Structure 1
């Protein structure tokens, strides 16, 4: 078997190697450097694939066909490699549409002239077959356009290699390994071609495509062992997916490798010349950021930085970037602007402070005004009582007027008392201090307090509470609950009616009820009673008015004492308000409590 068949197999292996690398680049196609690298390797794949069939062709027409396949990639390979070097060495700013178009002029001339050579013979002056090796080989006499193509390609190869060497000497030890593999791998096709064209060693066949096998081995080794395409790892997909936040990428030596456009709004003076520079030299004016970058993954909240216009606040997050083997390959610094949130919080705090001061002032003013009203009303009540006692010595003409004045003063006094009790309950001024109380005495005291009002409306007040009925409740709250419920019953009971207060012991608590023979509660009002926080007061049967706070206070105070409150009502027949109140703890419970044992 002629050795050209073995050469063809090797060239197909080189093609497969190129396709594998092109596929790896395609997986990272979101990044410009992966695109240029993948296309460059693909051009080499066309070269080796076409030459694999050229060396086994038997006619000149077949060789011409496979040469055309080779020249689909040959003219463009060097320029794509040069674009890759620009991106790899941090010169992305030069890669623009118009610069790429200019660089592609000579490759396009090469491509067109090669495919039209039979018309002008400026690329190949002549093409003849040579059977000296035992199989047909083509002998080419190069024309001026071929020489232009070679000169153009090697000129850019020299410039690009110079950039890589310069980067190698400036890079950190970790980075140098990757650059070295890039340099060695790039020399493969160009070195082999240089040997073939120079004629230093007699080569009957073109060994240039075999350089792609050499390059493929080094590039694959670099990709998997040293993550050679470290500027285009999967982690950079995260970088540019967060364009609203400032993102900067560093390698493990804290060298800046990439950043997005938002970073320019955060870091003063940052541009592409910063890429490849260590963070310690770049972030001197940002000591907080530098400390975060140097110490590793961390999260900082509301970090203040000096921006292009004024101070800004950022949430700073530094995390590791992992490679395909889940090993740290770099760091990603993410800065989220929270300036507006910080300033809004400051405004809210200031407003809250002002509201607190205003609320304190309001509380003081309410207390002062309420007490200033209460004291003269108490004096007026005493004077009215004296006047009523002396009415017997005077004519009865003014008795009705005096009685009405007494009623109005009593109502106003009850209003102020309710307001003060409600205010103390809302501001925490009323302390909860439950004690054991005799319910009979509590109810009796409340009925005596309401005696004048009930007598004026000719309402009979009754109590059906057995002697020695004890409950466990706060003194002031229990007095207010019973007083308000009885007062409401008087208000809505017509003259000649009756009000009865009862109590029945249940398991664990005492059930107290206040029953009247009044008008009852209308159905439209019953659905909201004891539900609304600030109910509207209704007018009583004798025109009495209130502020509607009585039942609200009763509900709150009953719940504070651990009970429930509800009512039953029949229109035109009367209403009954029920509330439960705890029984006193047993003597055994007291002894256990004193010993520190819960029951």
Structure 2
């Protein structure tokens, strides 16, 4: 072996070592990146090819050369399609990397590998292999067969397609990823150029320069790994992000025609499908019979509003954002529909908790006062009467002590359910305290309010609460007052009603007393 060939073998061997190191590193990162397994396979195949070529150059006779050529074809045919798979994954085109696709991609490489091992019988890959007579080293030349042309064209096609995909993807991703994309791109282009020089006879001593070039590409891969964390921080394809969004996204142009949408939008708007591309968004919404308050006058300001889908009864936050080109000219809008049904439900529940009593689901004290004050203001403005009816359950503490708090809660709910049967749509009903309740009666004078209080009292008396221990009598004492002047306040009315209620208790409970003037009298039917 002359010195020049020896140097060549050393460089080729270094290339093989770098390939193995790349495979080991990718193995350590296999849980971080989905592309690691493919990168490991590509590096191992490259190492087989490169070391096979090194041993070919170190061979002493034609028999050894033929053996190491066969070893090279264990890895060589599979490198280009494996590299293409790696690029597809890197560019977020994993949808194309399916089992059928992989079977198709690796069919020709598999046949090439098998044909290389059986070439002595059919000579499809090489017509012949012979030693160069005028070389000072043991070097072989080949006469290519028809399958060699198929193998070479297929390899070139895979590398060229991978390069085109990378260039396409580079335009769609952030500039910061150039440290990853350029090494990957050179890893495709440089072997193609080297192979081309070899085929036209411009390589030194007619030797295959691709293994030497792979030493350079392996170094570029290492640089990309340590400078930009290739295999760890790969850009996520925008298409993948677009389709993975839980929010519905519809993209329209300046003529309000739909130019794109994601799966989430299709699930929200049932009329949206592949035939919707090019249709006016207003026509789609009309077909949906949905009233989305979107303004169609080329608004350059962002629009935000809430919308309820009539079909699914879900609530969405809709954000319409204008899109501009490099010249700041508006070219369309992005409509984003975010499902806020759970949020709105929670808001409604919180609002309900803010103004209702948790046990009885009627107004709590604070909200009752707010509502009843509004009723007072309306009564003053319309010069109409308004009465307040305050009552509490008789001997409620004894009920709790004897039967337990569970029965006490049932007694409260029992009273509320009976009272509701006597309410008018305009009445305001609230829980004033533990066992105390209050009703605001708009457009009702005090004697009519007393009559209604008496009906509720009588109904309670005649309707005992059914318990496991038998029927439980539940009665209540009532105090009734009315607004006399516009200067009256709700606090004054509640105090008067409370004093009237106290009179009912003093008289033996289960009674109705009215605040008339400065006195409190028991209600009678003939009053």
Scaled by the length of structure 2, what TM-score is found? Answer: 0.50
Specify the structure having the higher radius of gyration (Cα).
1
Name which structure has the greater RCO, CA cutoff 8 Å, separation 6+: 2
Scaled by the length of structure 1, what TM-score is found? Answer: 0.44
